[in-house]
Each structure stands twice: as C-alpha cells, then as structure tokens.
C-alpha cells in the first residue's frame, strides 16, 4: 500500500503537480492518527510540498507529522469537535502550515458542514453553517481552506462554482477547491469563475483520465498562470 | 566532507535532511559551535520567528561564531533573513552579516500574507549558486517577511512588490524560498551549493 503511494507521489511530482495532499480518511472515524512512518517515507522521496490529513487531534499529533517532513497538516473532523485546536496549531507552528478542510453540503437550511465523511455510516451534519465556519476558522488562524463540496464530489460534473464563489467572498486565505473535477474545463472554470487559489482532484488523476502535465498546458493556453 | 545543518531549535529539519540525502550528501545536524566552525559547508535553516531564532543562536554561542565563518554558508527562509542586520519581526537585531532590514510583506487583495506557494525567479545575476537556474523558474515560498532588493540580491521575486529571493555577500548565500521543497530547480540549487568551495 505504502509502495503504491510512493510510486503515485513520484508520478504526480514528475507530471508537474504543485502540491500533494495525503488523506487518511478513515483515521478520524476510526479514532486514530495518521501513520507517521509513511509520512517519513513520503518526505524522503518527495521534493515538492505535501500536506497530510487524517485524525490530527492535538499539537503533539501535528508536530509528529511535521517533524516527519510534511509541509502542512490539515484538520477537519477534529477541528469541528474542538475548534480551539486551530488556534493551538497556528500559535505553535504558524498559520502557514495549518490547513482546515471543510466538507460542505447544500441543505434546505443552506450550506452545512459535515463531519466524519471518511465513513459513509458515520457521516453526519455537524449543524454548523459553512460560511460561518469559514469565517471562524480564519479568525482562529487557519492559513488555508480546502472546501470539499460534497454534492459535486465524485460525480465529475465540475466544481460547485456557486458555493465556492460564496466562500471566496469571505475567505482571505488561500482557498482550494475540491470535489467534482471531471474534465480540463472544470479546472479552467473554477479558476476563472470562482477565483480559487488552487484546485484539488483525486480520482481523475488516479484513473489517468486527466494527466497533470497536459492539464497545465491546457490551462496555460487559456491564459491561466500555472507553473509548468 | 560533512555539510552541517544548524539546529536552532523548533525548526523542522527533516525535509532539508532528506533533500541532501537525495543528493548523496553527507549531512549532520548540530548546534555545537566547534563543529560548525570546522565544517566545509554550513546550512542555516529556520522556521519560526526571527526573535526566537536569534535567542536560540545566542544561547548556543552561534550568534558570535556565524558572522566569522569563511566556508560557504547558505541561509534558507528565516535562515536567510537572519543574515541581515535587523528584522522587523519582533524588532530584533540579527547576525549583521548582510546590511539591510527584513520587512513585513504587505497583504493586498489576492495577495495574502504569508506568501505561500510557487513563484517565479526574476532579474537573475550570474552566480555559481544559480548555475542552470534561469529567469522565470518556479520555486516554493512560505514567508511573511522579506528582504528588499539591494546590491546583494542575486534573484528577486514579485509578490505585490519585488523582494529578494536569493542573496549573496562573500561566502554567505541565502534563499528566501525553500530549495528542499522546490522540485528539480531547488535540488539543482542545493547541488550547486554543495559544489561551492
């Protein structure tokens, strides 16, 4: 498993990915933290920034992951359970390495933040308003926000531009779009229409449906400034 | 021929150590002045605040030793800023090896501070450290403070204003970006540093 991860990481690096995010999505639902040994092994081989997410519940958990060589740590469910964790992480390591992941879904009441999304059986509405939460995590010291729009996630019909635009208006730190990428034009649209700082995708890259290098060439041809 | 990485405490050194390991360079982490003085090459990394880092360098006796080194020295990120006379961050005196004051970046709409991410090198001056690194190459930055462009600037980067990305004074070099996280370009710069005498 780790071998596969290292190979995939090297492939994306060679293809020109700007940053990699490693999600241990079952860590929080299973009540454990991400395995530090593989963080070390990834860091040993990788020469671009990477972020690690999964069950980071304390300053000590974060420190172990950062000391193993990760550039950033991302918190999601643990921050919902204990928002002061964001303040503590930011005070200790600086906001530049504190990413807050938000899984958000449109409900009749508006956008709501979901928790434990790594396990379909435990996924639940946290009751928090997404836009309020975006504001709060920035006040607490988040240096970056990854907004995963659950309604568009996995269906490859494009990012949720409307929701990302709403969040962008309140978000003064780098905003990363997640959920919904299925075609190169989806990336173009999210940059030009939602003004995000970065776009994250998983399945379309894993399957080879989109190759990072070709995607970047396409975006550059569209006048979007990306690193080759 | 062991390169010494200075451990000024608190800094995450793993990614730098791994980067040197990938270049097959022998590296050792220390804050012992007697080892630093005798090393063929010294790297001063740094994460955290300038005032804290200076406090730690003074506590282990390195603040007096570093300015007198004659071997190649590379300051990275905060380590580069510490080479200057002074930093606005915590209003602290630094090592005073390079004249000038490090100043806070100004946030603007669309340009949040910290400046975090890939940015291009510009206005390069020829230097052995920058061999095979060219105008517009992308490198990875994470910083809230920066040194203004001056006659020690070998390369700059634009983030609202133009600031120093690579500096040199004599045997002291510095990069504001993280070569250990800057892909092939960063690796090339570190390899160039390891060849300096």
Three-class HEC string of A113-138? EEECCCCCCCCEEEEEEHHHHHHHHH
Which positions of chain A have pLDDT values less than 50?
none
Q: Which residue among B89, B94, B143, B178 is the active-site one? A: B178
* pLDDT score of B10: 57
Does A47 contact B117 at a Cβ distance shorter than 8 Å? no
- In the residue annotation, B60 being an active-site residue is answered as no
Q: Work out the minimum CA distance from B93 to partner chain A, whole angstroms.
A: 21
DSSP SS3 for A204? helix
Q: Which residue among B89, B94, B143, B180 is the active-site one? A: B180
Q: What is the mean pLDDT of chain B?
A: 94
CA distance A203 to B193: 39
pLDDT reading at B37 higher than 60:
yes
* pLDDT score of A111: 97
CA distance readout (Å), A188 to A201, A225, A227, B75, B157: 13, 11, 14, 38, 25
What's domain A2-221's architecture? Alpha-Beta Barrel (3.20)
CA distance A140 to B137: 35
The two counts, helices (H) then strands (E), for chain B are 6, 13
Determine contact, residues B30/B7, Cβ cutoff 8 Å.
yes
pLDDT band, very low/low/confident/very high, at B8 (cuts 50, 70, 90): confident
Determine contact, residues A54/A28, Cβ cutoff 8 Å.
yes
* pLDDT score of B3: 96
- Residue B10 at interface with chain A, using a CB cutoff of 8 Å: no
Tokens of A95: 């906001």
Domains and CATH numbers, chain B: 3-195 (3.40.50.880)
User: Which ipTM was obtained for this model?
Assistant: 0.89
pLDDT band, very low/low/confident/very high, at B109 (cuts 50, 70, 90): confident
* pLDDT score of A126: 93
Determine contact, residues A99/A62, Cβ cutoff 8 Å.
no
- Residue B25 at interface with chain A, using a CB cutoff of 8 Å: no
Q: Which of B5, B19, B115, B116 to mutate to test the interface with A (most CBs of A within 10 A)?
A: B116
pLDDT reading at B81 higher than 80:
yes
Q: What is the DSSP letter of B144?
A: S
- In the residue annotation, B180 being an active-site residue is answered as yes
Give phi and psi for B127, each to the nearest 5: -160, 145
């Amino acid at each position: 498993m780790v071998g596969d991860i290292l190979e995939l990481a090297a492939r994306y690096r060679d293809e020109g990915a700007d940053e990699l995010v490693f999600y241990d999505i079952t860590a929080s639902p299973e009540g454990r933290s991400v395995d530090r040994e593989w963080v070390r092994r990834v860091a040993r081989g990788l020469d671009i920034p990477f972020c690690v997410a999964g069950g980071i519940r304390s300053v000590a958990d974060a420190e172990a992951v950062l000391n193993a060589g990760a550039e950033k740590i991302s918190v999601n469910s643990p921050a919902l359970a204990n928002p002061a964790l964001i303040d503590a992480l930011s005070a200790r390591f600086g906001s530049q390495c504190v990413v807050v992941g938000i899984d958000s879904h449109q409900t009749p009441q508006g956008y709501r933040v979901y928790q434990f999304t790594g396990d379909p059986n435990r996924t639940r509405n946290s009751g928090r308003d997404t836009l309020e939460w975006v504001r709060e995590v920035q006040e607490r010291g988040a240096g970056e926000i990854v907004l995963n729009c659950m309604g568009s996630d996995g269906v490859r019909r494009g990012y949720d531009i409307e929701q990302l635009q709403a969040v962008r208006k309140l978000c003064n730190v780098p905003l990363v779009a997640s959920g919904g990428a299925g075609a190169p034009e989806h990336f173009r649209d999210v940059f030009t229409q939602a003004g995000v700082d970065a776009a994250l995708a998983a399945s379309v890259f894993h399957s080879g449906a989109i190759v990072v290098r070709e995607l970047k060439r396409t975006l550059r041809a569209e006048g979007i400034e990306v690193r080759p | 021929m062991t390169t010494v990485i200075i451990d000024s405490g608190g800094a995450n050194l793993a990614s730098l150590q791994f980067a040197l390991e990938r270049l097959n360079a022998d590296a050792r982490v220390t804050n012992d002045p007697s080892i630093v003085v005798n090393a063929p090459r010294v790297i001063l990394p740094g994460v955290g605040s300038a005032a804290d880092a200076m406090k730690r360098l003074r506590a282990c006796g390195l603040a007096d030793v570093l300015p007198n080194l004659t071997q190649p020295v590379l300051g990275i990120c905060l380590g580069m800023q510490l080479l200057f006379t002074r930093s606005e961050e915590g209003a602290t005196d630094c090592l005073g090896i390079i004249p000038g004051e490090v100043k806070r970046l100004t946030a603007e709409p669309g340009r949040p501070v910290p400046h975090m991410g890939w940015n291009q090198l510009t206005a390069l001056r020829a230097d052995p450290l920058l061999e095979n690194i060219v105008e517009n190459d992308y490198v990875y930055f994470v910083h809230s403070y920066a040194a203004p462009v001056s006659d020690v600037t070998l390369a700059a980067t634009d983030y609202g204003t133009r600031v120093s990305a690579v500096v040199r004074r004599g045997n002291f070099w510095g990069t504001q970006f993280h070569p250990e996280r800057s892909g092939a370009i960063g690796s090339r710069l570190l390899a160039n540093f390891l060849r300096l005498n």
